[in-house]
């Protein structure tokens, strides 16, 4: 998702590295790249213009000039503006305060993900909001539609109100509402028929359903992969139906991001939910800030690189590389590497700066445990004599016992560190010259 946008923006930041401040000149160049990045991501032109104007204003302001790194500050400005453009105060929030049942009417074109989203929403309401949910389908045109809704509703653990193709949509809606009232449902979600394109009959039908039901939420479900077309259909629907929110589906696909960035600005309708997987738990309340960070995932990596550059001495890394080449990499050097990593704020801090998809994978492992491990390794090496660190082959059983006692660990732990060290030594011997320096210096070179 958003790969082009991310790539371009990170390139912009790279070209700005090493420049002390933003000038009119380098800002113009950077804005051109940002503009191209947004257009490539299929963001609507008026939205691009507005974003660029705002970013320009802010970038030339004090926020950037006073900052240590213009590249980082720029990413910050862009991120803030991206968040603002998607972040209506009601984004990600449903209004369920109505007299129960709160009615949610779902609209959208065929294939947008409407029925799936009804199931996801029912599950979300049930699991996280503890609501009693009833679903109903008013799609009497597509034979499979009603059965599909029944299936996803059952999977979601929500109640389903049966309907048949021979009924009128308004009749179905009325009956379902009556049923929901009598059975004390908190929420009634009404699925409607979609068409392949905007169609007069469909619009009239959903309009009359809207009049009849007077829903507290009218959600427009749209496929994010359609880019600007998604925004245009949302606009067309909103002209005849007062939408209260958008559900942007298939954000897990290769959507270019334009829809997410333009839809609220163009239609005035906030994005309330994002579909991020086919499965029923693949729906998230829309979070503008998180989305902006995701779009700028690469920016975080750059911050990480800059931090690494600050903390790791390249010269030292080169010296170390020479040493390895001559076969002199010992436990002292190993210890230095570990402490350098700790200087960078520990593993948890590094993970925080990785783009979302890596961070999610990393989050599965407990970083505090990993950090503890690193500290323990350092403690074990500290318990060795300088001679032992230079010549690990001296470490026989009795010395290992002494070291283990000194570090307050079991002997197996000492063996583990030695095995790790050997592994690293072998690995390093396989590299040569610059490549090795790069590895030793982490991301510094």
- Given the rule CB under 6 A, which of 155-163, 205-213, 276-284, 300-308 is the region that contacts ligand GDP? 276-284
Q: Which two tokens stand for residue 187?
A: 């929420």
193 labelled binding-site residue: yes
| CB distance 243 to 218 below 8 Å | yes
The Cβ of residue 77 has, within 10 Å, a number of other Cβ atoms equal to 23
Q: Which of 112, 187, 193, 341 binds ligand GDP (CB under 6 A)?
A: 112
Footprint on residues 231-260 left by ligand GDP (CB under 6 A): 249-250, 252-253
Site string for ligand GDP, 61-100 (x = CB under 6 A): ----------------------------------------
Residue 25: burial class (beta carbons within 10 Å; 0-12, 13-18, 19+) = exposed
Task: Note whether 262 binds ligand GDP by CB under 6 A.
Answer: no
Q: Which of 84, 96, 241, 277 binds ligand GDP (CB under 6 A)?
A: 277
Q: Between 253 and 386, name the residue whose CB sits nearer to ligand GDP.
A: 253
Footprint on residues 24-53 left by ligand GDP (CB under 6 A): none
Residue with the two structure tokens 């199931």: 119
- Given the rule CB under 6 A, which of 6-14, 110-118, 126-134, 230-238 is the region that contacts ligand GDP? 110-118
> Which residues have C-beta within 8 Å of that of residue 433, sequence separation ≥ 6?
321, 325
> Which residues have C-beta within 8 Å of that of residue 69, sequence separation ≥ 6?
17, 306
Residue 192: burial class (beta carbons within 10 Å; 0-12, 13-18, 19+) = buried
* Shortest spacing between CB 390 and ligand GDP, in angstroms: 56
* Shortest spacing between CB 148 and ligand GDP, in angstroms: 6
The helix (run of H) or strand (run of E) holding residue 437 is helix 433-440
| CB distance 425 to 405 below 8 Å | no
Q: Which of 10, 83, 115, 293 binds ligand GDP (CB under 6 A)?
A: 115
- Among 348, 355, 253, 245, which Cα is nearest to 296's? 355
3 labelled binding-site residue: no
Give the CB-nearest residue to ligand GDP. Answer: 275
Residue with the two structure tokens 């492992």: 365
194 labelled binding-site residue: yes
Q: Give the Cα separation of 334 and 343 in Å (integer).
A: 14
Q: Give the Cα separation of 434 and 445 in Å (integer).
A: 8
429 labelled binding-site residue: no
Q: Which of 4, 110, 150, 170 binds ligand GDP (CB under 6 A)?
A: 110
Footprint on residues 174-203 left by ligand GDP (CB under 6 A): 194
139 labelled binding-site residue: no
Task: Note whether 113 binds ligand GDP by CB under 6 A.
Answer: yes
Calculate the CA dihedral of residues 26, 28, 29, 34 and round it to 10 degrees: 120
> Which residues have C-beta within 8 Å of that of residue 326, sequence separation ≥ 6?
none
Q: Between 249 and 377, name the residue whose CB sits nearer to ligand GDP.
A: 249
Annotated binding site for GTP: 108-115, 191-195, 249-252
Interface residues toward ligand GDP, by CB under 6 A: 108, 110-116, 194, 249-250, 252-253, 275-278, 282
Annotated binding site: 108-115, 191-195, 249-252
């Amino acid at each position: 998702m958003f790969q082009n946008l991310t790539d371009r923006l990170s390139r912009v930041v790279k070209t700005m590295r090493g420049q002390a401040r933003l000038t009119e000149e380098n800002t113009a160049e950077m804005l051109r790249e940002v503009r191209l990045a947004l257009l490539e991501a299929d963001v609507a032109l008026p939205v691009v213009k507005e974003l660029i104007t705002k970013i320009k204003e802010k970038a030339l302001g004090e926020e950037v000039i006073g900052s240590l790194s213009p590249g980082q500050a720029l990413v910050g400005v862009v991120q803030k503006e991206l968040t603002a453009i998607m972040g209506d105060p009601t984004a990600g929030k449903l209004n369920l305060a109505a007299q129960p049942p709160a009615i949610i009417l779902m609209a959208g074109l065929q294939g947008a993900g409407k029925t799936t989203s009804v199931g996801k929403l029912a599950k979300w309401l049930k699991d996280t909001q503890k609501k009693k949910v009833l679903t109903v389908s008013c799609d009497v045109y597509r034979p499979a539609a009603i059965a599909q809704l029944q299936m996803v509703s059952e999977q979601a653990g929500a109640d389903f109100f049966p309907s048949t193709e021979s009924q009128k949509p308004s009749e179905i809606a009325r009956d379902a509402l009556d049923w929901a009232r009598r059975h004390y449902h908190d929420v009634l979600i009404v699925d409607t028929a979609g068409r392949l394109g905007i169609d007069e009959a469909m619009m009239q039908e959903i309009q009359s359903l809207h009049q009849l039901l007077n829903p507290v939420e009218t959600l427009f479900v749209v496929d994010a992969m359609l880019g600007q077309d998604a925004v245009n259909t949302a606009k067309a629907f909103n002209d005849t139906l007062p939408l209260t929110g958008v559900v942007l589906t298939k954000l897990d696909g290769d959507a270019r991001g334009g829809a997410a960035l333009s839809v609220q600005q163009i239609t005035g309708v906030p994005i309330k939910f994002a579909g991020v997987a086919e499965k029923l738990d693949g729906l998230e309340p829309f979070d503008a800030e998180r989305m902006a960070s995701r779009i700028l995932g690469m920016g975080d990596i750059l911050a990480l690189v800059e931090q690494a550059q600050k903390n790791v001495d390249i010269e030292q890394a080169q010296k170390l590389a020479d040493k390895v080449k001559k076969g002199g990499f010992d436990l002292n050097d190993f210890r230095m590497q570990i402490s350098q990593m700790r200087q960078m704020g520990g593993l948890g801090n590094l993970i925080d700066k990785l783009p979302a998809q890596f961070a999610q994978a990393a989050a599965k492992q407990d970083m505090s445990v990993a950090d503890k491990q690193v500290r323990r390794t350092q403690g074990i090496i500290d318990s060795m004599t300088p001679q032992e660190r230079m010549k690990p082959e001296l470490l026989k059983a009795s010395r290992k016992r002494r070291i283990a006692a000194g570090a307050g660990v079991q002997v197996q732990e000492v063996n583990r560190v030695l095995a790790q060290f050997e592994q690293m030594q072998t690995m390093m011997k396989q590299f040569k010259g610059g490549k090795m320096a790069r590895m030793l210096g982490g991301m510094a070179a």
